[in-house]
Structure 1
Amino acid sequence: MATINFASHHCLVIDDFQGMRYLMRDMLRECGAVHIEMASNGKEALQRLQERRYDIVLCDYNLGQGKNGQQLLEEAKLRQLIGPASTWIMITAEKSSDWIMGAVEYQPDSYLLKPITADLLLSRLEKIAVRKQAFAEIAQAMSNKQYTRAIALCDERLAYDQVNAAELQRLKGALLLDAGEVEAAQKLYEAVLTKREIAWARTGLGRICYQQGEYEAARDHFQISREQAPGYLEAYDWLARTLQKLGEAEQAEATLSAALKLSPNSPLRQKSLGELALQRGDLDAADAAFRKSIAVGEHSILKSADAYLGLARVCGKSGRSDEALKVLKTAQHQFDDANVTLRAKSAEGMIYTQEKQLSKAGAVADELKQLLLEGGAKPDSAASLEMAELMLATGQRDQAVTLLKDVVRNNHEDNALLGKVQAVFDGANMKAEGSNLVEACRREAVELMNSGVLLARDGKLTEALAAMRGAKEKLPVNARVLFNFAFVAVMYLQQRGADEALIEESREALREANRVSPGEKRFSQLMEALNKLEQR
């Protein structure tokens, strides 16, 4: 007899075999469920998930052609088709660990190996329901990006919930990092590690060292985490990033290769491996990794345009220009994204340049210039760098300089990216001029960033808000400008009273700032301030 009433729960059963769908439906009925729907493949399941929020999803891992169960779960989470209160159970006949390891970033709530019984299903559902109830308020606060509230809720529950203490500590540590509370996170991780070695705590310390630029210390933490918990893939990813910062590309590549032996079906990790191999000039290894990324990502929301663009670069460097152009056309077809189109076109133009087909390269550059002039294309930093390189190679200097100046203004504190900008100038024999332009644009961004804040401190809040709104329009992806806009807006709202439109504009600026520069302390502080203003 069920101890939890599932009669009000909406359930979805996903399996490509009709008999199994009916069997799972009947088991859910034995558990007390009444509202049960079914889907026979990933496409049908996505349609249902878009139409209704389900409380329980039973999903087979192998769904025939198209998406498998793991890819379906990833998409459901990334598109927020299921919430923190939803239960997702993956069902499989596979006994191999590969597919479980591949679920490290987007884990289901539980796995069940076939054959299963109604009693086993009920037991698992009840255990998950109890855990979900324990974390319900925290999960909701996290979904709303109310990090301060979520941290406080973790502390409240830690005072009496010993059963979930370890998970609450892990969650609190992650929240502290998201909120920019680095010192508090460090104390928590160190306290955990005084009692016993735990991979997530050791990795947390490594992330703090990485964030502070202490890459050798970060490397040591990640290596310990990997040695203590060989299956903890997050440590491999952070170790690879750290080794790249230390200039140890070959070791970084070896680290990713080791992770991929444990979990070979990650399109993003395969793509990263390809990029590392390409940087080292190992074209064969890069070719294999990019092709693997494309293959395993075919039906995944995590498939990467960078894998296609990387493969095209490999083909171009290997003298296979025709294949490179075909890959670039495929990339544009696969991704309905303006930046992918701009980058693919830029790569196409550079291939023509390398082959001395300057008229074709110039035609592509003209096409890109027209897309920019029409205003429909808003290039990101990667697209801007690649377009600028082509335009400089085809004599369109003014347009290239405009693109590079925008990159600097929007990323004036990102030294690695500024180095890439300088490298583009260097490649066009504009080293000194480029250096002067980079410095001038950096100073301009600082002035725009500070203008409104200085006015606000002088009490000129209306002028300050106008100045920061203007800066935000000029530098739409500059995290410092976005944070400063929200800061000035909060000061204005505290003095003048709540304004729903300005509150939402500020929230949108903060969300974009958090996307560009996650883990900033000001994000959670300013979000909290806006929430309080709204509640007045």
Structure 2
Amino acid sequence: MSFPTVAPSVPGSATAAMAAIDWTVKNYLIVDDFVGIRQLLRESLRNLGAKHIDQAGSGGEAMTLLAKTHYDVVLCDFNLGEGKNGQQVLEEVRIRNLMTPSSVWLMVSAEKSVESVMGAAEHQPDAYIIKPITEGVLLTRLNRVWQKKQIFREIDQAFVEKDYLRAARLCDEQIAHNKLHEIDLLRMKAQLLLKAGEPEKARGVYELVLEDRDYNWARTGLARIRMSNGDHEAARQMFQGVIAENRFYIDAYDQLATAFQLMGKLEESCDVLEKAAKLSPNSVPRQRNLGNAALKLGNIPLAERAFRKCIAIGEYSVLKTVDAYFGLARVCGQKNDPKEALQVLSTAQREFTGDQVQLRAKITEGLVYHESGDYRRARKSGDELETMLNEDAERPDTDTCIEMATLLFAVGVKDAPVELLCYIIRNNHDNMVLLDEVQKIFDKARMSEEGSELIQASRKIATDTMNKGVLLWKTGKLVEAVEWMRSAREALPNNMRILFNSAQILISRMQQSGFTQALMDEANDVLMHVDRIAPGQQRFAQLIEQLALLMPARPGIVEEAEAELAGAEEQETEADAEE
């Protein structure tokens, strides 16, 4: 490990800027596995005036400190020896929200390789400083980042609260006073508008930016909007154009893979993911996606490499996923190696807990037996799976239901997989891509005509259930509408249209009868459930905004809230019904 070279003083311009910041009251954490480096960095911070400095010699020790103490500044090395590396520490901090939006994270490392820098950059440290460093460079970078972070402080806090529209308005306020950071603010504003379900407004921001300069992130943003609008071919061309100009722009690869997938070009999608994984190989989600894509294509060697890599890099990651173990077990089954497949499943059940893991392990076990030609054991797994289904009224997620239905049909069971597929349809009655996938499963089970009728009947049940609640709402029977939608959510807990309409009806009830904490909590729980199962939905941010307006007045936005609430009363957003 290289030692930073300590310079005797900080450049004069930086010293003047730093003098305006009270560094003595802030909390600092230095994370490095080499004690000499920690001591040198500590002395650099002390020269700045820092008093409250903690140290960690490993990723695990850092996580313990971060979980119980708020730090304003973290200096973290990339290589931390055994256990979590700096990238994985930052990854977990971001996911667990262990630092406030205005805090600063500086990644300090001797690593210069593309994969190390890109891997860390994907989790957005505020700066990546290459060793050896001088005290002057360290403190100048710290000051520069700190000043910038304070501009985004309120915006980031609104983002954490999922109030994306308010955050976008705060961007405009900051642009008026901080022209130096206008481009960064416009980039964030566009991202916020996309999360708020306002793609056309986001498009306007991207186009405004591109009039000034050809930024890759703005072109990628425009391409994502085109892709979401169904113009997959135009999006593909734009993503490939970005990659042609900057082959290290990793987000464009991920988005291009999605575009190819939506176009039904699975081989092309897999090829792009493979290239992205070579550029930045330490992303657990990317290796998992590559493994899944290769498995669907029957490219067993590639799937095996991706799943094994995913397991290896996920060992100390908060993103460690059981999916990689199940994928590898399927690979072993298709290689006619059920022994290793069962060993992998045993490891998965040991490393991960919960009923859903046990259920998915049983499904995968059955698929492994079936794919390796052991039909007797496959049928036994199917029988055990039916028992597990009967014992638990709660149904798993859509992908698990599809795998379960596929296995049960394969081993000769009919009623249970039919019920599962109908449940999927009722919860996704307007998702035509998924309905086509369900139809193909029925086709494979030699139930084409019957399957088509079941799909139509299940869609009608969902539509009728939703429309009755909307009708009660439109005829002013809000108490009955709230109760009906509660029952609808219980029967169809993952139907997006029902969830959104239920939240809208709860909001209308409070607009009519006044704020109550119980209804507010119920509406918020519904929307948070939506955000967990399908983030980025168009109506999410709009309904969050309406909820915010119903809250008791918040400091700093009283007048704005009153004005918007008056507008909401004049032109209320309606729940949607289907003919």
Q: Do the structures match in fold with TM over 0.5?
A: yes
Offset of residue 410 of structure 1: 1.3
Residue correspondence of structure 1 range 260-299 to structure 2 within 5 A: 260-299=277-316
Q: Which amino acid is 2:453 matched to?
A: N
8 Å CA contact 2:38–2:55 kept in 1: the answer is yes
TM-score, length-scaled by structure 2: 0.89
Offset of residue 422 of structure 1: 2.2
Residue correspondence of structure 1 range 411-490 to structure 2 within 5 A: 411-490=428-507
Offset of residue 373 of structure 1: 3.2
1:5 maps onto 2:32 in alignment: no
1:512 maps onto 2:529 in alignment: yes
Q: 2:511 aligns with which of 475, 494, 500?
A: 494
Q: Which amino acid is 1:460 matched to?
A: K
Residue correspondence of structure 1 range 107-506 to structure 2 within 5 A: 107-355=124-372, 357-375=374-392, 378-506=395-523
- CA shift in 2, pair 1:377/1:431, >3 Å: same
Name which of structure 1's ranges 186-195 and 135-144 shifts more when overlaid on structure 2. Answer: 186-195
In structure 1, the residue corresponding to 2:105 is in which secondary structure?
A: strand
Aligned mates of 1:399, 1:302 — CA distance in 2:
32
Aligned mates of 1:21, 1:138 — CA distance in 2:
33
Offset of residue 356 of structure 1: 5.1
TM-score, length-scaled by structure 1: 0.95
In structure 1, the residue corresponding to 2:177 is in which secondary structure?
A: coil
Offset of residue 355 of structure 1: 4.7
In structure 2, the residue corresponding to 1:292 is in which secondary structure?
A: helix
Aligned mates of 1:223, 1:316 — CA distance in 2:
36
Structure 2 unaligned regions, length at least 5:
1-14, 554-579
Name which of structure 1's ranges 185-194 and 55-64 shifts more when overlaid on structure 2. Answer: 185-194
Superposed CA offset, 1:404-425 (max 9, x none): 2211111112222222322322
Counterpart of 1:34 in structure 2 is 51
Offset of residue 208 of structure 1: 0.8
Residue correspondence of structure 1 range 17-28 to structure 2 within 5 A: 17-28=34-45
Superposed CA offset, 1:433-477 (max 9, x none): 222112211121122222212111110100111111111111111
- CA shift in 2, pair 1:337/1:348, >3 Å: same
Q: Which amino acid is 2:221 matched to?
A: G
Offset of residue 426 of structure 1: 2.3
Superposed CA offset, 1:89-130 (max 9, x none): 111111222211113431111122222333322212211110
Superposed CA offset, 1:33-87 (max 9, x none): 1111122211111111111221111111111111100011001100111221121
Offset of residue 167 of structure 1: 0.5
Aligned mates of 1:194, 1:409 — CA distance in 2:
46
Aligned mates of 1:255, 1:62 — CA distance in 2:
29
In structure 1, the residue corresponding to 2:157 is in which secondary structure?
A: helix
Q: Which amino acid is 1:182 matched to?
A: P
- CA shift in 2, pair 1:532/1:187, >3 Å: same
- CA shift in 2, pair 1:372/1:469, >3 Å: same
Counterpart of 2:568 in structure 1 is none
8 Å CA contact 1:236–1:255 kept in 2: the answer is yes
Superposed CA offset, 1:6-53 (max 9, x none): 122111111112222222222222221111112221111111111122
8 Å CA contact 1:138–1:153 kept in 2: the answer is yes
Aligned mates of 1:126, 1:455 — CA distance in 2:
58
8 Å CA contact 2:108–2:128 kept in 1: the answer is yes
1:47 maps onto 2:59 in alignment: no
Offset of residue 258 of structure 1: 2.3
Counterpart of 1:87 in structure 2 is 104
Offset of residue 377 of structure 1: 6.0
Aligned mates of 2:503, 2:191 — CA distance in 1:
24
Aligned mates of 1:170, 1:7 — CA distance in 2:
33
In structure 2, the residue corresponding to 1:94 is in which secondary structure?
A: coil
Aligned mates of 2:146, 2:76 — CA distance in 1:
17
**Size of the alignment, in residue pairs?**
536
In structure 1, the residue corresponding to 2:30 is in which secondary structure?
A: strand
1:525 maps onto 2:542 in alignment: yes
Aligned mates of 1:492, 1:318 — CA distance in 2:
58
Name which of structure 1's ranges 9-18 and 60-69 shifts more when overlaid on structure 2. Answer: 9-18
Aligned mates of 1:61, 1:508 — CA distance in 2:
38
Q: 2:92 aligns with which of 75, 78, 88?
A: 75
Q: Which amino acid is 1:10 matched to?
A: N
Offset of residue 214 of structure 1: 0.9
Aligned mates of 1:458, 1:143 — CA distance in 2:
37
Superposed CA offset, 1:315-365 (max 9, x none): 211211212222222222222243333222101012223455444334323
Q: Which amino acid is 2:477 matched to?
A: K
8 Å CA contact 1:478–1:513 kept in 2: the answer is no
RMSD: 1.9
8 Å CA contact 1:349–1:361 kept in 2: the answer is yes
In structure 1, the residue corresponding to 2:320 is in which secondary structure?
A: coil
8 Å CA contact 1:31–1:118 kept in 2: the answer is no
Superposed CA offset, 1:474-524 (max 9, x none): 111111111101100011001111110110111111122233333333211
Offset of residue 245 of structure 1: 1.8
Q: Which amino acid is 1:517 matched to?
A: A
Aligned mates of 1:441, 1:32 — CA distance in 2:
67
Q: Which amino acid is 1:292 matched to?
A: K
Aligned mates of 2:296, 2:538 — CA distance in 1:
34
Superposed CA offset, 1:172-201 (max 9, x none): 111111111111111221222233211111
Percent identical across equivalent pairs?
47
Name which of structure 1's ranges 292-301 and 502-511 shifts more when overlaid on structure 2. Answer: 292-301
In structure 2, the residue corresponding to 1:57 is in which secondary structure?
A: strand
8 Å CA contact 1:479–1:514 kept in 2: the answer is no
In structure 2, the residue corresponding to 1:38 is in which secondary structure?
A: strand
Superposed CA offset, 1:353-404 (max 9, x none): 3455444334323333333333386411111111222223334432222222
8 Å CA contact 1:471–1:481 kept in 2: the answer is yes
- CA shift in 2, pair 1:416/1:521, >3 Å: closer
